[in-house]
């Protein structure tokens, strides 16, 4: 673990100043000498205006843009969600185990989540046995920052402290801690799994190495949603439809960062290609995927 701390490097102060103002100078020079150009030349903006005004004139060209906007906006609505899985009573009446996850581990990167991770674990324990759950708490400290470890100990789940405040490093640590599992379910520390949550490891094939789940917004203690939460819930569902549509007609897509099911071997390969930036970690995760 100590070697992981050396991953974070901090540039010297004068190097940061040099890079910052160097970037400003390059940007200003580009805007003036390339886009404006006067008095050296008329500039790219002027010539682009002439070309668009007199050479690339297409009658009704705006309609092409509108068709593309409508196509990309409304076509995903044609991809419906899957039907909900049967409820718990369906399995209990047939003496069928509701969720069998012998080869799948649940990895939860957590940051100062002691106030709410108990609800997350209570819901997860209805799907996964305690030995299959790995909570990787992280932060820039040599010791835990809150009571997450105590909450995990009470419920018998695995707790790991990562002294680097990075979600991507926490996932990396969790992958190596979850030995003996061929699949992993990555989930944020504030996601509540429904009792009939399907762990569809059977859908992971040679061509499908990770699966994304659509999420929804829920109010505190399952209360009614505010209008802001309803708008966020709509955004989540539209994003799920877009990924569902892209998965049907596209060639390569990647899951979002809230919850996703992975082949662990492929996930490790993805981690090897991740640049390790602490900003937009989920985006770079998908890019590496």
130 plus 14 within the same structural domain: no
Higher pLDDT, 166 or 135: 135
Separation CA 258–CA 245 (nearest Å): 19
The predicted structure's pLDDT at residue 278: 64
Compute the average pLDDT of residues 169-181.
90
Scan for tokens 């969720």, then name that residue: 99
| 50 part of a folded domain | yes
Bridge partners of 134, per DSSP, are: 107, 158
Which residue range forms the structural domain that includes residue 46?
2-57
Separation CA 274–CA 281 (nearest Å): 9
| 190 part of a folded domain | yes
164 plus 267 within the same structural domain: yes
The predicted structure's pLDDT at residue 5: 46
**Mean per-residue pLDDT over the chain, rounded:** 83
Q: State pLDDT tens for residues 14-38.
A: 888 999 999 999 999 999 999 998 8
40 plus 166 within the same structural domain: no
| 78 part of a folded domain | no
Per the CB < 8 A criterion, the answer to whether 236 and 228 are in contact is no
Question: The pTM is what?
Answer: 0.73
What total of structural domains would you count in the chain?
A: 2
| 156 part of a folded domain | yes
3-state secondary structure of 279: coil
pLDDT at 273 over 90: no
The predicted structure's pLDDT at residue 241: 85
Alpha-carbon distances of 60 from 65, 66, 119, 176, 195, rounded to whole Å: 10, 10, 56, 57, 53
CA quadruple 281, 264, 110, 252: dihedral positive or negative?
A: positive
109 plus 32 within the same structural domain: no
Burial class (CB in 10 A: 0-12, 13-18, 19+), 212: buried
Sorting pLDDT into bands at 50, 70 and 90, what band is 52? confident
Of all residues in the chain, what percent are helix, strand and coil, respectively (each to 5)?
50, 10, 40
| Ranges 149-158, 228-237, 276-285: which has the least confidence | 276-285
262 plus 150 within the same structural domain: yes
Degrees (nearest 5) of the Cα angle 184, 186, 190? 145
Q: What strand order describes the sheet that includes 158-162?
A: 158-162, 133-138, 104-110, 183-187, 259-263, 210-212
Percent of the chain scoring above 90 in pLDDT: 27
């Amino acid at each position: 673990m100590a070697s992981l701390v050396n991953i974070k490097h901090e540039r010297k102060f004068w190097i940061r100043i040099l890079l910052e103002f160097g970037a400003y100078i390059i940007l200003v020079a580009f805007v003036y000498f390339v886009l404006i150009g006067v008095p050296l030349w008329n500039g790219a903006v002027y010539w682009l205006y002439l070309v668009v005004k007199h050479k690339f004139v297409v009658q009704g060209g705006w309609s092409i843009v509108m068709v593309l906007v409508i196509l990309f906006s409304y076509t995903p609505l044609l991809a419906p969600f899957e039907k909900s899985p049967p409820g718990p009573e369906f399995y209990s009446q047939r003496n069928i185990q509701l969720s069998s996850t012998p080869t799948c581990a649940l990895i939860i990167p957590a940051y100062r989540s002691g106030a709410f991770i108990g609800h997350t674990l209570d819901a997860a324990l209805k799907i996964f046995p305690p030995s299959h759950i790995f909570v990787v708490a992280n932060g820039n400290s040599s010791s835990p920052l809150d009571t997450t470890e105590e909450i995990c100990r009470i419920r018998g789940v695995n707790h790991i402290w990562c002294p680097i405040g990075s979600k991507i490093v926490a996932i990396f640590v969790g992958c190596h801690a979850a030995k003996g599992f061929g699949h992993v379910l990555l989930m944020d520390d504030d996601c509540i799994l429904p009792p009939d949550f399907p762990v569809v490891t059977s859908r992971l094939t040679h061509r499908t190495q990770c699966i994304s789940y659509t999420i929804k917004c829920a109010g505190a203690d399952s209360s009614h949603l505010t209008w802001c939460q309803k708008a966020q819930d709509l955004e989540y569902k539209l994003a799920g439809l877009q990924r569902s549509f892209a998965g049907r007609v596209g060639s390569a897509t990647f899951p979002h960062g809230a919850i996703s099911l992975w082949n662990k071997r492929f996930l490790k390969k993805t981690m090897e290609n991740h640049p390790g930036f602490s900003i937009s970690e989920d985006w770079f995760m998908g890019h590496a995927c």
